[in-house]
Amino acid sequence: MLGERRKFFRSRVDPRAARSTWGCEGREAAPSDKEYVMAQYMLIMRGTDETNAAMMANIDEMMTTTRQFIEAMDKAGVYVAAEGLDDPAQGVVVHFTGEAPVVTDGPYGETKELFGGYFLVDVASKQEAVEWAKRVPAVPGSKIEVRRVPGEDEVPQDSARFVKEDAYRESDGQR
C-alpha cells in the first residue's frame, strides 16, 4: 500500500501529454520532445507558529482542500509529488560549526518561518509554477516559496566529486 501511495505521489509527468494550466488556455497539441522544455519547481510551504496553529484548528478542511488541489494538479498533468512535514518540535538540527557536527533538538533557534512541506510540479515556465502556487490551500499569513529544481543535465556529472563517488559505489557493489 505504501509503495503504491509513493508511486502515486511521485509520478513522472509526460511532457507530451495534453495539459492545462490555471488561468491559461489548455495546450492544444503537445510539441515534440526537442521543442518542449519542462522544468520542475518546488512550491515550498512556509508558515509561522500562528499560521500552523490556524491550519491545525481547521485540519479536516485543509486536508480536503489540499487533496482537491493535488487532484487538480494531477488532472492538469503537472503533479510530481507532495509531502507535508511533522511538527518541528519532533525534528533535530545538525550544526556544522566546528570540527564535529553538533545535534540539537528542534524546532530551531528561530521559528518565525518554518518549512512545512512542499508540492513538486513539472511545468513549462516559472510563471506557470507561480500560477499553481497562487492556488495552494493556505491560511492567511502563510507563504509559498517557488524554487526551480535544476535538471540532471545542469549538474556537472564529470566533476571530480561525482567521478570519485561513482568509483566508490562501483567498488562497493552499489551499481
Burial class, 122, CB count within 10 angstroms (exposed 0-12 / middle 13-18 / buried 19+)? buried
Give the CA count within 13 Å in the CB-facing half-sphere of 83: 10
0.75 exceeded by the pTM? no
The b-or-e profile of 15-27 (16+ CB within 10 A means b, else e) is beeebebeeeeee
Task: Give residue 111's pLDDT band: very low, low, confident or very high (50, 70, 90).
Answer: low
pLDDT value of residue 38? 84
Task: Give residue 158's pLDDT band: very low, low, confident or very high (50, 70, 90).
Answer: low
pLDDT in tens, 143-152: 999 999 988 7
Residue 174 near residue 73 (C-beta atoms within 8 A): no
d(CA 8, CA 82): 10
Helix (H, G, I), strand (E, B) or coil at 4: helix
The count of structural domains within the chain is 1
pLDDT value of residue 165? 72
Compute φ and ψ for 148, nearest 5 degrees.
-75, 140
Helices (H) and strands (E) in the chain, counts: 5, 6
Domain span at residue 132 reads 2-171
Residue % of the chain over a pLDDT of 90: 37
Dig out the grid coordinates for 76 from the structure: 492538469
The domain that contains 163 carries what CATH number? 3.30.70.1060
Average pLDDT along the chain: 77
Helix (H, G, I), strand (E, B) or coil at 107: coil
